[in-house]
Amino acid sequence: MSPPASQQERPPAPPFTTALIVVNVLVFLWESQLPHLAKLSLLHRYALNLSTVQQGFWWQFLTYQFLHGGLLHLLFNLLFLHSVGPLLELTLGGRRYLSLYLASGVFGGGLHILVAWLSPDHFLSPVVGASAGLCGLLAAVCALYAEEKVDVKLFYVIPLRVRAKFLLLAVALVTMGGALFPFGNVAHLAHLGGLVGGLVALNFMTAKPLPPMDDEVAEQSRR
């Protein structure tokens, strides 16, 4: 996803996005060099799982967001974060941006655990990844810039240009479909909860989209 056309010339100011990327990479590198048994212990303690949450491991609602299931999982999430994060960070400010990101991840994890509690036989595997928080960022960007046209690549290959509100609708429908009819090794409920969490968190923030840049300001920013 690319920033709305009216914002593409704005200088990026993404220190919190950069920090999130660095932390995720460092955690992955640390996790990757652990022996097998140590890695299993790490997942038991810090990945999100119903059984351990019931034992009081409440910190997992935060820590699972910084663990990943493999290199591709990490890369896709960081590419998405790099694409969506800077614009939302510039719009909200760093602290509110980080709060929305983490709250979306917690909300997504909470929905997953709630449904796992209702149907424990279907949710045995621990959940890891930043995707729920990223879904919250996507929801917030699309809500703030609903009428803007954004560039997306369907399946990371096919270029499309759609209004942000329609992108959010499409992602929500796919996520709800995955939650009702699960496919792949994907925590669809966490993604759905992240979308909802992002919109809920945004509702508690006084945020307005950045104004479009006129031609003169855009020209000055190129110099």
**Beta partners for 151?**
161
pLDDT given at position 154: 64
Q: DSSP class of residue 146?
A: T
56: Cα within 13 Å, side-chain hemisphere: 0
pLDDT given at position 160: 76
Q: Which residues of the chain have pLDDT under 50?
A: 2-3, 5-8, 213-223
Residue with tokens 């699972």: 64
Total domain count, the chain: 1
* Cα–Cα distance, 48 to 57 (Å, whole number): 9
pLDDT given at position 221: 38
Question: Which residues neighbour 42 within 8 Å (Cβ) at sequence distance 6 or greater?
Answer: 31, 34, 67
* Cα–Cα distance, 182 to 124 (Å, whole number): 14
Is the sign of the CA dihedral 153, 75, 48, 140 positive or negative?
negative
Phi, psi of 48 (to 5 degrees): -85, 120
Is the sign of the CA dihedral 58, 63, 69, 75 positive or negative?
positive
Q: Cβ of 94: how many Cβ atoms within 10 Å?
A: 15
CATH code (residue 200): 1.20.1540.10
Would you state the structure tokens that stand for residue 120, as one six-digit string? Answer: 């424990």
pLDDT given at position 197: 96
pLDDT given at position 97: 96
Q: 16: domain range? A: 5-222
pLDDT given at position 13: 54
Output the CA torsion 119→111→56→42 (10° steps).
90
Please give the single-letter amino acid code of residue 172.
A
pLDDT given at position 189: 93
**Mean pLDDT computed over every residue of the chain:** 86
pLDDT given at position 156: 60
